[in-house]
A and B are shown apart, each in its own frame.
Chain A
Amino acid sequence: MSHTRRRPRRVLARGICGLALIALVTAGCARDSAGLGAPKASVGAKLGGLLPGRKAAAAPAEAAPAPAPDLAQAALASIPGPVVLASFEANGAQMVFGLVGENGAMRSYQSPDQRGLVLRAGLLAATRGLGNDLMSSDTAAVSALIHARRPGTAERVQRYLDGSGIERPVPMRCTVALGAEVSQPIGAITYSGQQVAEHCEGSGAVIDNVYIVSPEGRIVMSRQWLGPELGYVTIQVLRG
Chain B
Amino acid sequence: MAHRFPKFAQISTLALLAAGLPLGQSAAQAEATMGWSLGAYGAPGLLDMPTAEALSDGTVAASVAARADQVRGNFAFQIAPRMTAVLRFSREKDLGPGGAALKDRSLDLHYQILSEAGMRPAVAVGLRDIMGNGQQSAEYVVATKTLRPDLRATAGIGWGRLGSQGSFGGGTRPAGSLDGRLNGDAWFRGPMAAFAGLAWQANDKLTLKAEISSDAYATETALAGFDRKSSLNFGAEYKINPMASVAAYYLAGSEVGVQFTIALDPHQPPAPSGLETAPLPVRPRPAPGADPEGWSGAWSADPTAEPAIRASVAQALAKDGQVLDGMRLSATAVDVRVRNETYGAQSQAIGHTARILTRALPPSVETITITPVAGGMPTSAVTFRRADLERLENTQAGEILAAAQIGEAAPGAFTPTEGLYPRYQVGVKPYLEFSSFDPGQDLHADAGLELSGRLEFLPGLVLSGALHQKVAGNLDEQTRVSTSPVQHVRSDLAEYQKHGDATLQRLQLAWYARPGENLYSRVSLGYLERMYGGVSGEILWKPVDSRLALGAELDLVKQRDFDQRLGFQNYETVSGHLSAYYDFGSGVTGQLDVGRYLARDWGATVSIDRKLANGWSVGAFATLTDMSSADFGTGSFDKGVRLRIPLSWALGQPTQMTFAPTIRPYTGDGGARVDVEGRLYETVTETHMGGLYEDWGRFWR
Contacts and interface: CB of A to CB of B under 8 A. Distances in A.
Residue from B18, B269, B651 having most chain A Cβ neighbours under 10 A: B651
A131 B272 contact: yes
Residue from A7, A26, A53, A169 having most chain B Cβ neighbours under 10 A: A7
B701 A25 contact: no
Contact of B701 (A13, A135, A182): A135
Nearest to A130: B274
A34 B271 contact: no
A49 B276 contact: no
A36 B244 CA distance: 36
Nearest to B455: A33
Nearest to A209: B12
A50 B651 contact: yes
A191 to B, nearest CB: 9
B16 A35 contact: no
A34 B267 CA distance: 35
Interface string B59-91: 000101010111101000000000000000001
Contact of B651 (A18, A46, A68, A126): A46
A203 B17 CA distance: 10
A159 to B, nearest CB: 6
Contact of B284 (A59, A103, A138, A209): A103
Interface string A193-217: 0010100000111111110000000
A4 B12 contact: no
Contact of B5 (A7, A92, A184): A184
Interface stretch (B155-163, B463-471, B608-616, B682-690): B608-616
Contact of A30 (B279, B426, B647, B659): B426
Contact of B18 (A30, A110, A229): A229
B313 interface: no
A129 interface: yes
A163 B267 contact: yes
Given A46-B651, A204-B22, A229-B18, A103 B429 contact: no
A148 interface: no
B512 to A, nearest CB: 17
A239 B271 CA distance: 34
A33 B424 contact: yes
Interface stretch (B367-375, B394-402, B562-570, B588-596): B394-402
A231 B282 contact: no
Given A15-B62, A50-B271, A210 B18 contact: no
Interface string B268-288: 111111111111111110000
Contacts of A1: 93
Interface string B1-32: 11011011001111111101111111000000
Residue from B7, B271, B426, B659 having most chain A Cβ neighbours under 10 A: B271
Residue from A46, A102, A115, A161 having most chain B Cβ neighbours under 10 A: A161
Contacts, number: 305
Nearest to A88: B1
Interface stretch (B130-138, B167-175, B408-416, B692-700): B692-700
A32 B453 CA distance: 10
B390 interface: yes
B272 A28 contact: no
A34 B420 contact: yes
Contacts of B423: 32-34
B262 interface: yes
B72 to A, nearest CB: 9
B91 A27 contact: no
A13 B4 CA distance: 51
Nearest to B71: A7
A131 B648 CA distance: 12
* Interface magnitude class on chain B: 35 or more
A69 B7 CA distance: 20
Given A87-B1, A131-B271, A21 B432 contact: yes
A8 B260 contact: yes
Contacts of B11: 179, 195, 197, 208, 210
Contact of B647 (A4, A22, A36, A103): A22
Residue from A21, A26, A31, A167 having most chain B Cβ neighbours under 10 A: A167
Contacts of B91: 4, 7
B20 A204 contact: yes
A61 to B, nearest CB: 11
A interface SS class: mixed
Contact of A164 (B5, B26, B443, B655): B26
B393 interface: yes
B450 to A, nearest CB: 8
Given A89-B1, A164-B266, A12 B64 contact: yes
B650 A35 contact: no
A13 B435 CA distance: 14
Contacts of A14: 434, 443
Interface in B417-447: 420, 422-432, 434, 439, 442-443, 445
B216 interface: no
A28 B21 CA distance: 40
B12 A223 contact: yes
B26 A162 contact: yes
Contacts of B4: 186
A229 B272 contact: yes
B311 interface: no
Nearest to A231: B16
B341 to A, nearest CB: 6
B242 interface: yes
A136 interface: yes
Given A4-B91, A26-B655, A165-B612, A36 B341 contact: yes
A100 interface: yes
Nearest to A128: B278
12 contacts: A7-B91, A25-B659, A55-B271, A89-B1, A114-B278, A118-B394, A129-B276, A132-B274, A133-B701, A165-B695, A169-B396, A203-B22
6 closest A-B pairs by CB: A28-B429, A116-B278, A131-B272, A204-B20, A165-B613, A101-B281
